[in-house]
């Protein structure tokens, strides 16, 4: 299980706006800013996102290697997948796979894919077997 991820972005303010809008439909609404001067020498400033008491997705300004990263975000329903996809497109993402079943993985794997403003590959995923009661 991952604890956290740092993503380098070219324009921190643009990326904060983008991810606030895109992650909100997925219930990822907590925000925290970390001042790098509070850490060891050379620690970057970080802009964090999380939910349920955990900050796990962090942005830092830096060199962008767009094609080097793919991040899959858990959705709790197909409606959340679709809402995150629409929010991403409305906030500057490029479509990279419209919402729908990904039959090559599983008939119950429902996802949407976009490229964020820096070219990072994002996937919003609902796998019904991961939400069974």
Mean pLDDT in residue range 86-108? 96
Q: What is the pLDDT of residue 132?
A: 66
**Domains recognised in the chain with CATH numbers:** 5-131 (3.10.180.10)
66 — pLDDT class (breaks 50, 70, 90): confident
pTM greater than the 0.85 cutoff = yes
Mean pLDDT in residue range 52-74? 93
DSSP letters spanning the chain? ----EEEEES-HHHHHHHHHHHHGGGT--EEEEE-GGGSSTTPPPEEEEEETTEEEEEEEES---GGG-EEEEE-SSHHHHHHHHHHHHHTT-EESS-SEE-TTT-TTEEEEEEE-TT--EEEEEEEGGGG--
């Amino acid at each position: 299980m991952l604890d956290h991820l740092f993503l380098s972005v070219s324009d921190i303010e643009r990326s904060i706006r983008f991810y606030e809008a895109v992650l909100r439909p997925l219930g990822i609404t907590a925000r925290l800013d970390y001042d790098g001067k509070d850490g060891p020498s050379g620690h970057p400033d970080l802009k964090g996102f999380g939910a349920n008491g955990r900050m796990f997705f962090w942005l830092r300004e830096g060199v962008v290697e767009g094609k080097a990263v793919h991040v899959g975000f858990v959705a709790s329903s197909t409606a959340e997948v679709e809402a995150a996809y629409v929010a991403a497109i409305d906030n500057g993402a490029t479509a990279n796979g419209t919402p729908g079943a990904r039959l090559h993985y599983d008939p119950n794997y429902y996802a949407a894919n976009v490229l964020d403003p820096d070219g990072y590959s994002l996937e919003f995923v609902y796998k019904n077997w991961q939400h069974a009661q």
